[in-house]
Structure 1
Amino acid sequence: MQSATRIDPFQPAEGPPPQALGAFFRWALAGSWPALWVAAALSAIAGALEAGTALILGMVIDGTVASGPDMFFSASNMAMILGAVGFFLILRPLAFGLSSAANSIIVQPNVNPLVLSRLHRWTLGQSVKFFDDDFAGRIAQKQMQTARAITDVAVEMINVVAFALASLIGSVFLLLAIDARVALVFVIWLVAYFMLIRWFLPRIRERAGKRAGARAMVSGQVVDTITNIKTVKLFAHADHEDRAALGAMQRFRDTSLHFGKLSAVFRVALMTLAGILPVLLIGGTLLFWSQGTATEGDIVAAGAVSIRIAQMTGWVSFTLMAIYSNIGEIEDGIHTLTPRTRLDDDAAASELQVPEGRISFQDLGFAYGRDAGGISDIDLEVSPGEKLGIVGASGAGKSTLVALLLRLYDPEQGRILIDGQDIRDVTQESLRRKIGMVTQETAMFNRSARDNILYGRPDATEAEVIAAAQKAEAHEFIKDLQDHKGRRGYDAHLGERGVKLSGGQRQRIALARAILKDAPILVLDEATSALDSEVEASIQTALERVMIGKTVLAVAHRLSTISQMDRIVVLDAGRIAEQGTHDDLLAGGGLYARYWNRQSGGFIGLRDAAE
């Protein structure tokens, strides 16, 4: 349906999400407001017709009383009868149908993906620290929760609030036509109703926010346990995880009870107030009828209006309670998702150009905002095409150096240049496109083997994917893969984080991905330390193929994997302790020589880290 295109469901937002509630709504719904206003207008028209329903019923009753049973269907009443039939069979269904279509076709299917896509894009741009400091499941829950809550608020404001306000305004005019005193009674009742709403809803909003936070913690705890299920089983900690989950569930239950008790009191107060309205309006109109100032039709109209509004106020109030509950959840989502824990590109950032692949670390320092740790005073020049090995005990600063090169963090001191370009002056996307990486904890998606390799270069052809797999010595085992749904070969899914593959197989797919990416700079971060010597030897040839013609930084505990590097840098306590070729460093008898002599199975020993 063409009207569904009035909201672009994936339109990017302008700027970061504000942290104030009203501004956040405007940011989240920007681009959809014209369609929302049209939907609200259609809902208001349908609401105004509710008062028209009571008016027409009153007119029919008055016509019946005035004409009597014999003359009711006479020519003089035919226009009124046809008008009433047309109202109930054509006008009213058409108005409600258009209002419903606006909500179900224009608003609901488009607003949720609009908001969710904006929140997801913003979250993807957060720094690594943002994800390190929270549960993956909790972050995902907050995105879904906030998008759903904003959608519900928009829909209910259109569906209920616009409808109800139009109905109330129409009812006031109808009652004024009956008797101003009846209308005054209704207005006084409305004041009492809004005072009741004003007292309850802010408290509901607060308790709903706490309930949303507790619910997200349950999701975070459960997802964290499931993500690490093998560790849970290996350490026989199912009971421990169960207690942790039950603790989170208990807090969620407590906040839900706190919310539920207030909701129950609200319902009783509301139903009592709603029951008063028909007594006041019908009783008042009967009184005026007995005095000859109101007709029988006025009694029916007042009765219809009072019953309808009494019913509607319950419906509206619970909708408002849901809206305020959603607002509480939105505020909770704002608190989690909108903090600016991110590294943004400079407004004038350019695309990184790498004609040679020279890397310069100049007076580099970074300690994660602490007084100690990380790296300091790093001055290092990596020549184009040079194969540089980086070694050191745990905590020496190897991974920090790599993280800074990839600009996962910005240096607290100094700078990094690639072919003379400060990496803070280029876009992060272009920087990371120029750097291929293979890590110890190889990242695999629960997608097909083909999709995982294509992550290196999504526009690659099937022939290029297979060629990369062959160079990585992965093609043979990929052909034999089969998943639980019967998909085979390159179509077989690898399971979450590649759990269906061995460590060597995961590394081969990671190498195929790096080969396909064909970036001029390659980082190998403990790429083989998780493998046994036999498996490592089997993929050494593949590693050598990946390194051809590239500037390489190879971080390793296993010294045998970097002994053939052009140069080796030894880090100790965040500083460069020594550097040179493998033979030169052994001959020097320094830290590297001690590592080499004391390594156990090719690894730097833990004892070295303490020395």
Structure 2
Amino acid sequence: MFAYFERLIAPFPDELPPVPPKGLGRFIWACTAGMRRHIAVLALLTAAIGIFEALMFAFMGEIVDGLSGANPATWWAEHQTQVLWMGAAVLASPLLMSVWALSKYQALHANFPMRLRWMFHRQMLAQSLAFYQDEFAGRVATKVMQTALAVRDTVMTVADILVYVLIYFGTMVAIVAGFSTTMMLPFMVWLGLYLVALRYFVPRLARVGQAQADARSLMTGRVADAYTNIATVKLFSHTRREALYARNAMQEFMGTAYAQMRLSTGLEITIQSLSVGLIAGSAGMGLWLWSRGEVGVGAVAAATAMALRMNGISHWVMWEMASLFENIGTVQDGMDIFSKAPTVLDAPQARALDVKRGEVKFEEVCFAYGDGPKVIDTLNLTIRPGEKIGVVGRSGAGKSTLVNLLLRFHDLRAGRILIDGQDIAQVTQDSLRAQVGMVTQDTSLLHRSVRDNLAYGRPDADDAAMVAAAQRAEAHGFIQGLSDPKGRTGYDAHVGERGVKLSGGQRQRVAIARVMLKDAPILLLDEATSALDSEVEAAIQASLYQLMEGKTVVAIAHRLSTIAAMDRLIVMDQGRIVEQGSHAELLAAGGLYARLWAHQSGGFLGEEA
């Protein structure tokens, strides 16, 4: 039975979720997709439980009335049917509660937030690269986790707790009115004052809850940022500085927590005062009406018992309302991220890129980051199939941006980029990047095994292919000597977050092996050997040249050893191509390349003074 209810909701649906709309109500409604029927069933079961509990007071009131002045010898015969119905209802209540518990806990409690985490995570993976340049990775991960729980708790509070309270209170008032409409007066006065209290406290709790969610995200982001950059923190001896930096965020969070607790305390005192007033009012009103003969003893007992029950419920509702609006604040905080559509999207009916030759064309390409100045300005470039070009220039000339545009990490402001005559804006991003291999200057590895990192190049590759690629990249030797704290060795050893357990040169060799394994027809090298010492670089240079064979290659480089083998050199400045030709031709021209060459030092192209 447990397994049946646990399978009612699929926590990992295959279809890619749409971007949720902005606006709290619409966002939460979108998050309930695929679960609304189960939430509605839970609400109906909750309503049934609320009606049942309220009717129990009415039954008890009738029994008390029946016992007053009754003849014990004849009482059972006179009330047998009524008591049997009441007994049947009591015996049926565990079944009702069982179905309610299975629906709430087995079907929804775990599946609901996990489904949202899965959806949110896939949305974040689909986000454009520019999105992550403005966000802490730790902050995004925190929002994925806490927003999913906050949405679940918000929906469950409304569908379960509030439905129960409304139905329960409505049924209870109807029962009291059946005794005497005058007896409704204390309950209606209490309800009016209770709503006034909620109207005062709840919006304030909502504002504090949102501020607290913002403060929590900031606090988590600062703490995670320190851990991510722990080597830099220790290198500059700034552990105390980072602790104080995090403490400022923690103090801001504590300010919101104190404000929330003040409101909660005020609400607690108010609700307790109203509850005492309700008990005294309902009991006093019942006794007064009984003394006038307008109601029986059972009515007094039932009304007083209901008031006592409302005392407990009102406190429960108070805390649930406080939690509800804290969750709403968390949802609103996360909604700002999850409602952002990716800026780089596949075109409608986008097809897979088909690379047969590997020709790359930049036609009138213009690009700028946001509203900033142009980084690439009316650039035209044709790279012939199998041609190897080197891109050089001062820092900020637009070299790395050019490569990022070819990978379509950003959309162009004007112009187009063609691969074998196919506009990359009209093909799927996955198919484009599957045809391009890239080794960057700053290599980041996944906190997984070496085998998993290599398999990123070609997931279906067997161990023999992986080892061959590692050997070509001069990585096999050190990989065999790796181990981790859990006893895993060699290709099974985990490399730590961002590959921190490996040296820069080792990370670079794993990255080169990964691209060798991928064997894509277009190859991009962004300072691919910059992290290698001269001896290792010389050892794998032959492998790199072998990797380049038959491929279209774009290499960003300062090292002479990297650009020496290029068929053509492209010199960029301020987003434009200012010179192109062979090494000898550019030196003879005496332009920017010749001036950069004149400043070379230690095998690097230096910056112009």
Question: Aligning the two structures, in what range does the TM-score lie when normalised by the shorter sequence?
Answer: over 0.9
Q: Contact between 2:361 and 2:418, CA under 8 Å: does it hold in 1?
A: yes
Q: How is 1:454-603 mapped onto 2 (pairs within 5 angstroms)?
A: 454-603=455-604
Q: How is 1:275-286 mapped onto 2 (pairs within 5 angstroms)?
A: 275-286=276-287
Corresponding residue for 1:141?
Answer: 142
Corresponding residue for 1:233?
Answer: 234
Matched, 1:59 2:62: yes
Shift, 1:501, TM fit: 0.9
d(CA) in 2 for partners of 1:132, 1:58: 67
d(CA) in 1 for partners of 2:389, 2:355: 18
Q: Contact between 1:13 and 1:30, CA under 8 Å: does it hold in 2?
A: no
Bigger shift: residues 92-101 or 25-34: 92-101
Corresponding residue for 2:429?
Answer: 428
Corresponding residue for 2:18?
Answer: 15
Q: State the Cα deviation string for residues 566-610 of structure 1 (Å, max 9, x = none).
A: 11111122221211222333343433333334311111223x2x4
Corresponding residue for 1:399?
Answer: 400
Shift, 1:81, TM fit: 4.1
Shift, 1:341, TM fit: 5.2
Q: Contact between 2:400 and 2:526, CA under 8 Å: does it hold in 1?
A: yes
Matched, 1:29 2:32: yes
d(CA) in 1 for partners of 2:499, 2:16: 34
Q: What letter matches 2:120 in structure 1?
A: L
Shift, 1:360, TM fit: 0.3
Shift, 1:393, TM fit: 1.9
Corresponding residue for 2:380?
Answer: 379
Q: Contact between 1:520 and 1:551, CA under 8 Å: does it hold in 2?
A: yes
Q: State the Cα deviation string for residues 361-390 of structure 1 (Å, max 9, x = none).
A: 112222324554522132111111111111
Matched, 1:40 2:20: no
Q: Contact between 1:232 and 1:238, CA under 8 Å: does it hold in 2?
A: yes
Q: How is 1:142-181 mapped onto 2 (pairs within 5 angstroms)?
A: 142-181=143-182
Q: State the Cα deviation string for residues 317-345 of structure 1 (Å, max 9, x = none).
A: 22122111211111111123323352112
Q: What letter matches 1:440 in structure 2?
A: Q
Q: What letter matches 1:571 in structure 2?
A: M
Q: How is 1:183-194 mapped onto 2 (pairs within 5 angstroms)?
A: 183-194=184-195
d(CA) in 1 for partners of 2:513, 2:63: 80
Q: Contact between 1:142 and 1:337, CA under 8 Å: does it hold in 2?
A: no
Shift, 1:256, TM fit: 1.5
Shift, 1:207, TM fit: 1.1
d(CA) in 2 for partners of 1:68, 1:497: 84
Q: Contact between 2:179 and 2:295, CA under 8 Å: does it hold in 1?
A: yes
Q: State the Cα deviation string for residues 156-188 of structure 1 (Å, max 9, x = none).
A: 223311111121121012112211111243233
Corresponding residue for 1:350?
Answer: 351
d(CA) in 1 for partners of 2:472, 2:439: 15
Bigger shift: residues 79-88 or 463-472: 79-88
Q: Contact between 2:17 and 2:123, CA under 8 Å: does it hold in 1?
A: no
Q: How is 1:406-445 mapped onto 2 (pairs within 5 angstroms)?
A: 406-445=407-446
Q: Contact between 1:439 and 1:526, CA under 8 Å: does it hold in 2?
A: yes
Bigger shift: residues 478-487 or 182-191: 182-191
Corresponding residue for 2:320?
Answer: 319
Corresponding residue for 1:206?
Answer: 207
| Counterpart secondary structure, 2:7 | helix
d(CA) in 1 for partners of 2:401, 2:221: 27
d(CA) in 2 for partners of 1:32, 1:395: 50
Structure 1 unaligned regions, length at least 5: none
Q: Contact between 2:448 and 2:496, CA under 8 Å: does it hold in 1?
A: yes
Bigger shift: residues 528-537 or 499-508: 528-537
Closer/same/farther in 2, CA of residues 419 and 163 from structure 1, 3 Å limit: same
Shift, 1:449, TM fit: 0.7
Q: What letter matches 1:556 in structure 2?
A: A
Q: Contact between 2:267 and 2:318, CA under 8 Å: does it hold in 1?
A: no
d(CA) in 1 for partners of 2:419, 2:16: 32
Corresponding residue for 1:87?
Answer: 89
Q: State the Cα deviation string for residues 370-418 of structure 1 (Å, max 9, x = none).
A: 5545221321111111111111121111101011111111122321111
Corresponding residue for 1:103?
Answer: 104
Q: What letter matches 1:416 in structure 2?
A: I
Q: Contact between 1:139 and 1:337, CA under 8 Å: does it hold in 2?
A: no
d(CA) in 1 for partners of 2:93, 2:305: 16
Q: State the Cα deviation string for residues 294-334 of structure 1 (Å, max 9, x = none).
A: 22222221122111112111111221221112111111111
Q: Contact between 1:6 and 1:32, CA under 8 Å: does it hold in 2?
A: no
Shift, 1:248, TM fit: 1.0
Q: Contact between 2:279 and 2:307, CA under 8 Å: does it hold in 1?
A: yes
Matched, 1:363 2:397: no
Q: Contact between 2:210 and 2:329, CA under 8 Å: does it hold in 1?
A: yes
Q: State the Cα deviation string for residues 459-480 of structure 1 (Å, max 9, x = none).
A: 3333333333233232232222
Q: Taking structure 1 as the reference length, what is the TM-score of the superposition?
A: 0.95
Structure 2 unaligned regions, length at least 5: none
Shift, 1:499, TM fit: 0.8
d(CA) in 2 for partners of 1:522, 1:409: 19
Shift, 1:348, TM fit: 2.7
| Counterpart secondary structure, 1:374 | strand
d(CA) in 2 for partners of 1:14, 1:125: 11
Closer/same/farther in 2, CA of residues 466 and 532 from structure 1, 3 Å limit: closer
d(CA) in 2 for partners of 1:151, 1:340: 23
Q: How is 1:213-232 mapped onto 2 (pairs within 5 angstroms)?
A: 213-232=214-233
d(CA) in 1 for partners of 2:435, 2:278: 72
| Counterpart secondary structure, 1:543 | helix
Bigger shift: residues 47-56 or 208-217: 47-56
d(CA) in 2 for partners of 1:154, 1:370: 40
Shift, 1:350, TM fit: 1.6
Bigger shift: residues 592-601 or 395-404: 592-601
Pairwise CA RMSD: 1.9
d(CA) in 2 for partners of 1:223, 1:182: 59
Shift, 1:426, TM fit: 1.1
Shift, 1:215, TM fit: 0.8
Number of equivalenced pairs: 606
Bigger shift: residues 401-410 or 181-190: 181-190
d(CA) in 2 for partners of 1:37, 1:462: 51
Bigger shift: residues 120-129 or 232-241: 120-129
